[in-house]
Chain A
Amino acid sequence: MAQRYVRSVGAYLPLLRLDRKAASGAFGWSGLAMPRSGRRSVAAWDEDALTMAVEAGRTALAGHHADSVVFASTSAPFRERLQANLLCEALGLPRDVSVSDVAGSRRCGVSALRQALLNGGGDALVAAGERRATMPGSAFQLTWGDGAAAALIGDDGCARLLGSACINVDFVDVYVSDERPLPYASEERFVREEAIALAFVPAIEAACANAGVSAAEIALAVVHEPVGGVYKGLAAVAGLKAPNLCDDITAAAGDLGAAHALFGLALALERGKPGDRILVAGFGSGCDALVLEMTAPCDGSASAETSLREGAALTNITRFLSLAGSLDLDWGPRSELDQKTAASVLARHGRDMHGFIGGRDARGNVQFPKTLIPVSPLADGPEPLADVRLADLEASIVSVTADRLNFTPDPPFHFGLVQFDNGARVSMEFRDIEGATPQVGDRVRMRFRVKSIDRKRGFRTYFWKAAPLERPKLEEG
């Protein structure tokens, strides 16, 4: 079988970052032990594991193609509704791509990466996203973060697989169940010692042996620790000398679950140089370990550094708790709008919505959505429109406001008209606005987001929203 490579990667974090010291201070009265250093990335109300995986997947797929797509998450919004399908539609991939959702433990992202590297079968995209609900007061609420990462695997690229191994152990450091929908943790000291002994060291040693690489030759480590101190312990046992890049992610954004090690891989490929050996170890009910050799600069890897560096500080603890789903506010009667989605309507229009596909008429004008009779004043009857994807294009703001009347879970509600350079004009919601309302003429880019959540029936729909081209730089924290 041909040598398999990482072709490209993508990393994504939501805009908001909660300062852990401020947050733990708000809970100080309780005496509960909470982390006090670094920041936690916080998903917007309309971001979930899928939307963030789409954003990471877009970066990884830019200029590439995928023959198969895996969506990995322990916090996927649906149990029955294949999210890899939605991922494909949002990425503009055809209907005949092989797809699957994987879950079961946060190791699933790295397990899927390993499978894609071990198996042939064309270009394989693994996109992992995580937005995990946690109990207020738990350490998880501040140590975990929301985010996503993706890797495209193929027969050439920027890092080749040298070897790998896996160890499967029913080791319960944390669990989530039907009866306990929020995570429950085992004692930290037990986890630290036994995870090293039962999972990490055996898997890493086996992977290094399989790769023919000694632990000391590893230049960059991407080891997903279940608790702090694991890497330090296992490195001493296994003889690893490399820094663990996951520490930087944990400090700046938090533990990203299924996306954590993939994010670390992207970071390693950004910081590394050709010839570097990279260890990637995913943990959860065992350990998957991979040893890669970087062969070239990697498409998309810059997204890991920039997403860690850019964002907006979230200082309001009640806003955080509301966004995290830990505080159920009474939003009043305006929040009672019934948002039932008709499955038949979704079947007719969903693909164009998820892919943000408009149509080009015979005169070249593009519009969204497609209609039988084009919107152009020059059209004089029904005509076929050619598909045009708008998701990856920039646009300009024609009109905008910050609406403080209508219900949104995170006011104000910014919306207005945007104008694409190809002629398409669309009424859109603006997102990732912290502070001043955007101005007429400002340029925007498209982001895949939750459009509506039908809380009565537990359903959600997805569409694209416009966001500023650039994010602010985070102050050193």
Chain B
Amino acid sequence: MASGIRDRVVIAGMGCTEFGERWDKGPEALMVEAFEEALADAGIGRGDIEAAWLGVALDDMNVGNSALPLATALRLRNIPVTRVENMCATGTEALRAATYAVAAGACDVALALGVEKLKDTGYGGLPLRTKGLANDLWMPYGSAPGTFAQLAGAYTAKHGVEAGDLKRAMAHVSWKSHQNGALNPKAHLRKPVSMETILNAPLIADPLGLFDCCGVSDGAACAIVTTPDIARGLGKDALVSVKAIQLSASNGWESQYGEWDGSYVRNTREAARRAYAEAGVSDPRAEIGMTEVHDCFSVTELVTMEDLGLSDEGRAVFDILDGRFDRDGAIPCQIDGGLKCFGHPVGASGLRMAYEVYGQLLGRAGERQRDRINLGLTHNLGGAPANSVSAVSIFGRLE
């Protein structure tokens, strides 16, 4: 049995751009902005980076393919640079690769940077892409809200939850993220929105209304990771350690085999189970102090609370309405506004989540700072509930 990466790698520095409609910035500027912040935070020079991973999920047409956009934008010193892509888990994949490289001893200092420049597509939402030449012969061209909206009907059918209760809980998810986003100077959406506005918004995909859906953004985020010893050598005394990074990918069971009931995300459960084991977490509700989860849609955050074991099955609706995941709740979720309001530049999102946890663990979160948090969890969900990749990461201070 592998021993895992717990506490073998620490974050030396992080950077994150303002997310949003960055009409005046191209992907190069976004990458440089995030990277320069991380370099300054780490207290190292660009020549100290020994390997790098670039996460770009969708934006080949703008960022470009391969690792070259990163290597060129940052003028890296002919080091190994690799591009990774795994839908909405892309940013976490970049971090996973960099962390593994350091944990393996392949290099001492590695960079993970995610970027996406989606607002040049000319319309809202994710860019349209084929599903592959053979799949296009039969798979429906549903939108992302369309695929996630299907969780709602299956969830209410399974748990006997009233559709109205679910709708209110979903609205609370978005209301809470708008409250939080208003406190975040880097967030895409910084205006509180009333429950009434959320509940009465036009439908995008039944039963998801406009405010149940996150938009997409421009932005970049990055992490420089290294060993605890090297970090201490840089004069850092408070260290944020990677406790776990786990990923789970569908094999067709949900979408092609007759067992899944459509009301939860199996990969989140698998990734969480492994991440808790890797991090040594036995009681998540007591030990996890905050979460940044993949709230691409309000209903996704709702079922994720159950998939992460932070609510009992069928009870997330009521835990949400009781405020358990509000900024001042027992296990705050999306203190930074989440995908809903911080924004969702897809390739950067996993690293943006880590950025907030990192800031909270180091007490740098300003108005959003919570009381002492020992462990923070990030979660990405790419694809659709029926065919997904899910990543769960856990970060904490290195004591």
Q: Determine whether A316 belongs to the interface, using a CB cutoff of 8 Å to chain B.
A: no
- In the bound assembly, the distance between CA atoms of A342 and B256 in angstroms comes to 24
The B-contacting residues of A in range 402-432, CB under 8 angstroms, are: 402-408, 412-413, 415-417, 419, 423-429
Stretch at the interface among B110-118, B140-148, B315-323, B368-376: B140-148
B143 contacts A439, C-beta separation under 8 Å: no
Q: Is the CB of B257 within 8 A of A376?
A: yes
A334 and B146 within 8 A (CB)? no
Contacts of B256 in A (CB 8 A): 367-368, 375, 424-426
* Binary A-proximity of B120-133 (CB < 8 A = 1, otherwise 0): 01110100111001
Contact of A345 with B by CB under 8 A: yes
Contacting residues, chain B, for A440 (C-beta < 8 A): 153-154, 157, 262
* B328 contacts the other chain (CB 8 A): no
A398 nearest CB neighbor, chain B only:
B262
Chain B hits for A416, CB < 8 A: 150
Q: Give 1 or 0 for each of A459-474: 1 = CB within 8 Å of chain B CB.
A: 0010100000000000
Q: Does B2 contact A (CB under 8 A)?
A: no
Give which listed residue, A338, A349, A405, contacts B137 with CB less than 8 A: A349
The residue in A350, A401, A428 that gathers the most chain B C-beta atoms within 10 A of its C-beta is A401
> Does A348 have its Cβ within 8 Å of any Cβ on chain B?
yes
Known: A423-B258, A463-B138. A401 touches B205 (CB 8 A): yes
B215 CB, nearest partner CB in chain A, Å: 12
B residues near A403, Cβ cutoff 8 Å:
142-143, 145-146, 149, 204-205
Interface assignment of B136: CB less than 8 Å from any CB of chain A = yes
Query: Residues of A contacting B255 with CB < 8 Å?
Result: 417, 425, 427
Q: Which residues of A contact B123 (CB under 8 A)?
A: 332-334
Q: How far is the CB of B254 from chain A (nearest CB, A)?
A: 8
Closest residue on chain A to residue B150 by CB atoms: A399
CB pair A413 B157 closer than 8 Å: no
Number of B residues whose C-beta is below 8 Å from A?
A: 44
Nearest CB in chain B to that of A367: its residue: B256
Question: Judging by beta carbons under 8 Å apart, are A365 and B257 in contact?
Answer: yes
Taking a contact as CB atoms under 8 Å apart, the answer to whether B257 and A425 are in contact is yes
Residues of A313-348 at the interface with B, using a CB-CB cut-off of 8 Å, are: 332-334, 336-339, 341-342, 345-346, 348
Tell me which residues across on chain B come within 8 A of A461, comparing CB atoms. 136-137
Is the beta-carbon distance between A439 and B153 smaller than 8 angstroms?
yes
Cβ A333 vs Cβ B122 within 8 A? yes
CB of B89 closer than 8 Å to a CB of A: no
Partner of A398, one of B154, B206, B252: B154
State how many angstroms separate the Cβ of A363 from the closest Cβ of chain B.
11
Bound CA span A404–B252, Å = 26
User: Chain A residues with Cβ under 8 A from B151's Cβ?
Assistant: 399
- Residues A441 and B140 in contact, CB atoms below 8 Å apart: no
Q: Check B150 against A406 for contact (C-beta < 8 Å).
A: no
Contact of A401 among B134, B136, B150 (CB under 8 A): B150
B134 touches A345 (CB 8 A): yes
Q: Is the CB of A417 within 8 A of B253?
A: no
Interface SS of chain A: helix, strand, loop or mixed? mixed
| A203: Cβ under 8 A from any B Cβ | no
Instruction: Determine if B133 and A441 form an interchain contact, defined as CB atoms under 8 angstroms apart.
Output: no
Which residues of A lie under 8 Å from residue B146 when comparing CB positions?
401, 403, 405-406, 413, 415
Point out which of B140, B141, B145, B146 has the most chain A C-beta atoms below 10 A from its C-beta.
B140
> Taking the nearest CB of chain B, how far is it from the CB of A184, in angstroms?
37
Contact of A367 among B130, B208, B257, B262 (CB under 8 A): B257
Q: For residue A415, which residue of chain B has the nearest CB?
A: B140
Known: A345-B133, A417-B262. A375 touches B253 (CB 8 A): yes
> CB within 8 A of B140: which of A345, A405, A412, A427?
A427
Q: Measured between alpha carbons, how far is A413 from B139 in the docked complex, in Å? A: 13
Taking a contact as CB atoms under 8 Å apart, the answer to whether A398 and B257 are in contact is no
Choose among A375, A405, A417 the residue that contacts B145 (Cβ–Cβ < 8 A): A405
Q: Is B287's beta carbon under 8 Å from chain A?
A: no
Within 8 Å CB of A400, what residues of B? 150, 153
Specify the chain A residue showing the minimal Cβ separation from B135: A369
- Which residue on A lies nearest to B139, using beta carbons? A427
**B165: interface (CB < 8 Å):** no
Q: Pick the contact of B252 from A349, A375, A405, A451 — CB < 8 Å? A: A375
Contact of A353 among B129, B138, B141, B150 (CB under 8 A): B138
Distance A402 CA – B152 CA, assembled complex (angstroms): 12
A429, B206: Cβ atoms closer than 8 Å: no
CB A341 to nearest CB in B, in angstroms, measures 7
Asked if B142 contacts A413 (CB within 8 A), the reply is yes
CB distance from A379 to the nearest CB of B (A): 10
- Chain A residues, CB < 8 A from B136: 339, 341, 452, 461
Q: Kindly list chain A residues whose C-beta atoms are within 8 Å of the C-beta of B130.
A: 337-339
Answer whether residue A377 sits at the interface, using C-beta atoms and an 8 A cutoff: yes
Residues of B within 8 A of A413 (CB): 140-143, 146
- Interface residue B203 (Cβ < 8 Å from any Cβ of A): yes
Question: Is the Cβ of B257 less than 8 Å from the Cβ of A377?
Answer: yes
User: Which of chain B's residues has its CB closest to A452's CB?
Assistant: B136
Residues of A contacting B129 in the complex (Cβ-Cβ under 8 angstroms)? 337
Q: Does B205 lie within 8 Å of A348, measured CB to CB?
A: no
Q: Does B60 contact A (CB under 8 A)?
A: no
Output the least CB separation between B164 and chain A (Å).
16
B128 and A337 contact, CB distance less than 8 A: yes
Asked if A463 contacts B258 (CB within 8 A), the reply is no
Contacts of A441 in B (CB 8 A): 157
Question: Does B229 sit within 8 A of A, measured CB to CB?
Answer: no
Report the minimal beta-carbon distance from B214 to chain A, rounded to whole angstroms.
13
Output the nearest chain A residue to B257 by Cβ-Cβ distance.
Answer: A375
Which residue among B128, B138, B255, B261 has the maximum number of chain A CB atoms within 10 Å of its CB? Answer: B138
Q: How far is A299 from B246 in the complex, measured between Cα atoms in Å?
A: 59
Top 7 closest pairs, chain A to chain B, by CB: A403-B146, A399-B150, A401-B149, A399-B262, A406-B143, A415-B140, A405-B143
- 29 A-B residue pairs with Cβ-Cβ distance under 8 Å, sorted by A, are A333-B121, A333-B122, A339-B130, A349-B134, A367-B257, A375-B251, A375-B252, A375-B253, A399-B150, A400-B150, A401-B208, A402-B203, A402-B205, A403-B146, A403-B149, A403-B205, A404-B202, A406-B143, A407-B141, A413-B140, A413-B142, A415-B142, A416-B150, A417-B386, A419-B258, A423-B257, A423-B258, A424-B256, A451-B137
Q: Write the residues of chain B forming the contact surface with A, with a CB cutoff of 8 angstroms.
A: 121-123, 125, 128-130, 133-134, 136-143, 145-147, 149-154, 157, 202-206, 208, 251-253, 255-258, 260-262, 386
Residue positions of A touching B, CB distance < 8 A: 332-334, 336-339, 341-342, 345-346, 348-350, 353, 365, 367-369, 371, 375-377, 398-408, 412-413, 415-417, 419, 423-429, 437, 439-441, 451-452, 461, 463
